[in-house]
Amino acid sequence: MSGNETKDGYSAVDPSRRKFLGKTAMAGLAGTGAVLGLTACGSSQQPGGKLATAASAAAPASSSGEHPEYDVPPGKLDTYYLISSGGHSGEVRILGCPSGRTIKRVPVFNIDPMSGWGITNESRAIIGTRPDGQLKYWTGDTHHVHGSYKDGTYDGKYFWVNDKLNARVARIKGDTFDVDKIIDLPNVQGHHGLFPDKRDPVDASINYTTRVFAGAEFHIPLPNDGRDENSPEKYGCLFSCIDAESMEVRWQCRIDGNMDLVATTYDGKLAASNQYNTEGGVHYEDMMSAEQDSCVFFNIARIEHAVAGGKFTTIGDSKVPVVDGRKDANADPKTALTCYVPVPKNPHGVNASPDGKYFVCSGKLSPTCSVIEIDLVHKWFDGELAKPRDAVVAEPNVGLGPLHTAFDGRGNAYTTLFLDSKIVKWNVDAAIAQFKGNTQSNVIIHTIDVHYQPGHGYTSMGETKEPDGKFFNSGNKFSKDRFLPVGPLHVETEQLIDITGEQMKLIHDHSAAPEPHDAIIVRADIIKTRQIYDLNEFPNAVKSKEESTIERNGKNVHIRLMSQAPAYSMREFTVKKGDIVTITVTNHDKVEDLTHGFGIPKYNINFCINPQETKSVTFVADKPGVFWCYCTHFCHALHLEMRSRLIVEA
């Protein structure tokens, strides 16, 4: 399971920095926790922190009038949407950029009493329920949000987000920013990286997203049925391909090692994932024992050809075809489904350059970024490249703890340095020249302090063919002294950086509730949202006063309501104790933003209904009495008066 067949390329690495992260140094550091920057994070007294603070004082002040291009004064709109994951909050957030203002929190894998996500029948059907009626899951961990593509740029139709915790994929509609589908990935734990394809690998007329790829980070026994927990050879990780429209899992590919993040090429032919645990280790010491891990490439057309030709197995109860992408089964490049490109140990992050030429794998435990040329990977698959490592065309030293890389479209890369608490701007062509032996090549252009320990960084439109090189946002894992303290846990920071010039300029800090990972910055004109819903989209809509009725069928009672400011269509409705009650509400208001709520005291029910939308809830009327159902969302001068009585007879 080791990916260490070659060590070439190391000659280009500055030996002093290499030594710093040599095996012995690493083991020592690991013992103190310093390897992950934990000592630095806990204290603002350490030198790195002080330096960083001093530097920030000299940074341009935000909204001071000095930089009108960053100002979003009252009454003006942001020019970008920043669509961000929310980590273990389970949600996705939408911010305005450059202001950093939060515009919407989209409930995804969590429960949200404001919208009723996880409470209404419709949302519960999307999340999925168990036979006993409980939600299947009400926790999640979102890391990576990516949008659907058309002609190499966002089309604003869909956004997908991963759930690392319960191995799911959710789809968010770009017109309403609601989730419309959630699926489970079979035989996977730790679904981490996610990326849509950008065009079809075979059919040139399909220049838009039709697949979404998902990497699995944790090895599990396949099948994971309790029999093989002590048989390492039975453990494996699967790479999954999901149909972008139907959201069905099309196929999975079993690999050697694990997967972390995912990237896709602009030609649609390849997807890749960085691998930090090619060792297949169970403990972290094992996971960092090898000098090299890899970036595994998937040849999509070949995999789908194998699936069509019946060359697959299935695992456990799952019907999803699984092809074999392990090294032993893919020794001949000309038929291989996968290509494992060695990179220095424990890489984190793989990002596609907007010119379509390169993938950059950040080193994490190595101070390097590995630049992989896509054409050379294609050459390997064609049998014309001696070994996968030859696809690495640069490996510049960029600083300590490189995690994620973004691009400005002018040939420069911006890498987050977790341990150094910096963003480093470096030039890709210069790095390639240096790797070829040009010692005069100036790779590093500028570095800037961020506060503190950045994870992801991403640029405006930087993951499309239309990068505009205006903004870079740094998602920092620790804010320490940047905001008023609120107890032991501090809020996270995001820092917006101007990348239009040679030097980066810090624009402003904004707080970010724990815990965003990755985000994308999408030009505002690409997103086309709707003002109101359409009554006809909802099969259970209560369309008129005549349809607003109470229907009884044995113990099942269906109360069909309309809301229209400032009243519900029935002033009271009576049921009997023990009845199974469904309340459906259609909001007949037609004005955008005229949303009503519906809360039932003591029944733990609360949701809101947007203009022309229909939602329903079902509960057992187990408590007799009078319950004032009231509008929980401020809607009208008579909002407080907007109520009805639920009467439960003993």
Provide the minimum distance between the beta carbon of 403 and ligand K7E in the complex, in angstroms, as a whole number. Answer: 5
Closest CA to 367 of 117, 7, 12: 12
In the list 83, 126, 290, 403, the residue contacting ligand K7E (rule: CB under 6 A) is 403
Site string for ligand K7E, 120-149 (x = CB under 6 A): -----------------------xx-----
346 binds, among Ca ion, ligand CUA, ligand K7E, none (CB under 5 to 8 A by kind): Ca ion
Report d(CA 294, CA 278) in Å as an integer. 7
Instruction: Pull the structure tokens for residue 457.
Output: 């960084």
455 binds, among ligand CUA, ligand K7E, Ca ion, none (CB under 5 to 8 A by kind): ligand K7E
In the list 220, 499, 631, 648, the residue contacting ligand CUA (rule: CB under 6 A) is 631
Provide the minimum distance between the beta carbon of 543 and ligand CUA in the complex, in angstroms, as a whole number. Answer: 19
Partners of residue 239 on adjacent β-strands: 253
Report d(CA 338, CA 74) in Å as an integer. 52
Instruction: Pull the structure tokens for residue 141.
Output: 């961990």
- Does 345 interact with ligand K7E (rule: CB under 6 A)? no
456 binds, among Ca ion, ligand K7E, ligand CUA, none (CB under 5 to 8 A by kind): ligand K7E
Q: What are phi and psi of 157, to 5 degrees?
A: -80, -55
403 binds, among Ca ion, ligand CUA, ligand K7E, none (CB under 5 to 8 A by kind): ligand K7E
Closest CA to 217 of 287, 269, 148, 319: 287
In the list 326, 357, 576, 639, the residue contacting ligand CUA (rule: CB under 6 A) is 639
Bridge pairing between strands 369-373 and 358-362: antiparallel
Q: 10 Å Cβ neighbour count for 149?
A: 26
| Concatenated DSSP letters of 266-282 | TTSSEEEEEES-TT--S
3-class secondary structure for 506-573? EEEEEEECCCCCCEEEEEHHHCCCCCCCCHHHCCCCCCCHHHCCEEEECCEEEEEEEEECCEECCCEE
| Concatenated DSSP letters of 361-416 | EE-TTSSBEEEEEHHHHHHHHTT-SS-GGGGEEE--B--SSEEEEEE-SSSEEEEE
Report d(CA 390, CA 144) in Å as an integer. 30
Range 520-579, binding ligand K7E (CB under 6 A) = none
**Order of strands, edge to edge, in the sheet holding 262-264?**
262-264, 270-275, 292-299, 338-344
Our CB check for Ca ion shows the closer of 293 and 579 to be 293
Our CB check for Ca ion shows the closer of 217 and 293 to be 293
- Does 518 interact with ligand K7E (rule: CB under 6 A)? yes
Our CB check for ligand CUA shows the closer of 187 and 632 to be 632
Closest CA to 406 of 368, 450, 461, 452: 461
- Distant-in-sequence contacts of 173-176, Cβ < 8 A, 24+ apart: 174/147, 174/148, 174/527, 174/528, 174/529, 175/528, 175/529, 175/530, 176/529, 176/530, 176/533
- Does 348 interact with ligand K7E (rule: CB under 6 A)? yes
In the list 425, 517, 523, 633, the residue contacting ligand CUA (rule: CB under 6 A) is 633
Range 204-263, binding ligand K7E (CB under 6 A) = 261
Torsion of CA 212, 215, 221, 224, to 10 degrees: -40
Range 364-393, binding ligand CUA (CB under 6 A) = none
Provide the minimum distance between the beta carbon of 237 and ligand CUA in the complex, in angstroms, as a whole number. Answer: 49
- Contacting range for ligand CUA; rule: CB under 6 A; set: 52-60, 270-278, 440-448, 634-642: 634-642
- Does 446 interact with ligand CUA (rule: CB under 6 A)? no
Closest CA to 613 of 210, 123, 131, 284: 123
Our CB check for ligand CUA shows the closer of 476 and 586 to be 586
In the list 510, 517, 523, 615, the residue contacting ligand K7E (rule: CB under 6 A) is 517
Site string for ligand K7E, 314-333 (x = CB under 6 A): --------------------
In the list 29, 36, 491, 565, the residue contacting ligand CUA (rule: CB under 6 A) is 565
Range 350-379, binding ligand K7E (CB under 6 A) = none
In the list 192, 425, 523, 560, the residue contacting ligand K7E (rule: CB under 6 A) is 192
Count the residues of the shown chain that bind ligand CUA, applying the rule CB under 6 A: 10
Q: What are phi and psi of 500, to 5 degrees?
A: -75, -25
Our CB check for ligand CUA shows the closer of 541 and 631 to be 631
- Does 643 interact with ligand CUA (rule: CB under 6 A)? no
* Angle value at C-alpha 21, between 20 and 27, nearest 5 degrees: 115
- Does 642 interact with ligand CUA (rule: CB under 6 A)? yes
Provide the minimum distance between the beta carbon of 261 and Ca ion in the complex, in angstroms, as a whole number. Answer: 15
- Does 588 interact with ligand CUA (rule: CB under 6 A)? no
What is the distance of C-alpha 480 from the center of its chain?
A: 25
Provide the minimum distance between the beta carbon of 543 and ligand K7E in the complex, in angstroms, as a whole number. Answer: 45
Cα four-point dihedral sign 497, 500, 504, 506: negative
Cα four-point dihedral sign 340, 341, 346, 352: negative
In the list 219, 425, 456, 470, the residue contacting ligand K7E (rule: CB under 6 A) is 456
Longest dimension (CA), the chain: 87
Provide the minimum distance between the beta carbon of 239 and Ca ion in the complex, in angstroms, as a whole number. Answer: 18
Amino acid (1-letter code) at residue 83: I
518 binds, among ligand K7E, Ca ion, ligand CUA, none (CB under 5 to 8 A by kind): ligand K7E
Under 8 Å between Cβ of 584 and 561: yes
565 binds, among Ca ion, ligand K7E, ligand CUA, none (CB under 5 to 8 A by kind): ligand CUA
Site string for ligand CUA, 179-198 (x = CB under 6 A): --------------------
Site string for ligand CUA, 514-553 (x = CB under 6 A): ----------------------------------------
Residues in touch with Ca ion (CB under 5 A) = 276, 293, 346
Provide the minimum distance between the beta carbon of 606 and ligand CUA in the complex, in angstroms, as a whole number. Answer: 12
SS3 state at 475: strand
Any residues with CB less than 8 A from the CB of 546 and at least 6 apart, and which? none
143 binds, among Ca ion, ligand CUA, ligand K7E, none (CB under 5 to 8 A by kind): ligand K7E
In the list 48, 396, 409, 455, the residue contacting ligand K7E (rule: CB under 6 A) is 455
DSSP assigned state of 302: H
Our CB check for ligand CUA shows the closer of 565 and 580 to be 565
User: Each residue of 291-307: b (16+ CB within 10 Å) or e?
Assistant: bbbbbbbbbbebbbebb
For ligand CUA, the binding residues (CB under 6 A) are: 565, 596-597, 631, 633-636, 639, 642
For ligand K7E, the binding residues (CB under 6 A) are: 143-144, 192, 261, 348-349, 403-404, 455-456, 517-518
